[in-house]
Amino acid sequence: MSLAVGVAGATGAVGGELLRVLEERGFPIAVLRLFASEDGAGRKRVFCGREHPVGALAGGCFDGLDVVFFATAPAVSRAWVPRARAAGALAIDNSSAFRLDPDVPLVVPEVNGAALAEHRGLIANPNCTTALLVMALAPLCGLARPLRLLVATYQAVSGAGSAGVEELERELSAAARGEEAAGGGAGPFPERIAGNVIPAIGPCELSRSSGEEVKVRAETRKI
């Protein structure tokens, strides 16, 4: 069965990777519609050798679609996922907007694929760190009950999307010219990122945990 598929956030780093994976795996797509914010609308993306125009998110844009993948920021997902569901599409959201909603299954298919049966028109994907962690943890949990986990991750600038990659390229270009690359504030990172490692991702909470640490704990427990 071929599906009518939409991808919101198609011009971003995650949207581009999503399209690459859909093509690589031969996902059964009869109709493909791509969407982005006003800044990204009007561009084109190549999928299976054909150029597809990128339209703006607008009223009625999800009509007739079976599935809509959201590779968008949480605020965008919160605004547009309900519209996709109202149009009768299954929404699959990659942002953090709905991950901890008790009524939304948070799924890594190899670990808790049975939870897909509980969806009500929306499935959430976990944080990338969480997905990798539970893949390793699941078989261990079949042998014994873990008491404590010590987790360290080392993540690329692409985790901050296109803006992260662009900031690194800007700083590296400045360094190649012998200039001091100013970092922090202008881009997505609080400090210069070229040749650097920043020991936190996201804002720090009162518990002194970073946003990434908070997400990994809560999402792993839910899955």
Look at residue 155 in the predicted model and tell me its pLDDT. Answer: 87
Look at residue 42 in the predicted model and tell me its pLDDT. Answer: 87
The domains found in the chain, sorted by start residue, are 3-97 (3.40.50.720)
| Each residue's pLDDT expressed in tens, for the chain with a length of 223 residues | 899 999 999 998 899 999 999 999 999 999 999 999 877 788 999 999 999 999 999 999 999 999 999 999 999 999 999 999 999 999 999 999 999 999 999 999 999 999 999 999 999 999 989 999 999 999 999 899 888 989 988 888 888 878 888 999 988 998 888 887 666 666 788 888 988 998 878 777 767 888 889 899 999 999 9
Look at residue 185 in the predicted model and tell me its pLDDT. Answer: 63
Look at residue 2 in the predicted model and tell me its pLDDT. Answer: 93
Look at residue 184 in the predicted model and tell me its pLDDT. Answer: 64
> 214 vs 152, 156, 219, CA distance in Å?
13, 19, 9
Look at residue 84 in the predicted model and tell me its pLDDT. Answer: 98
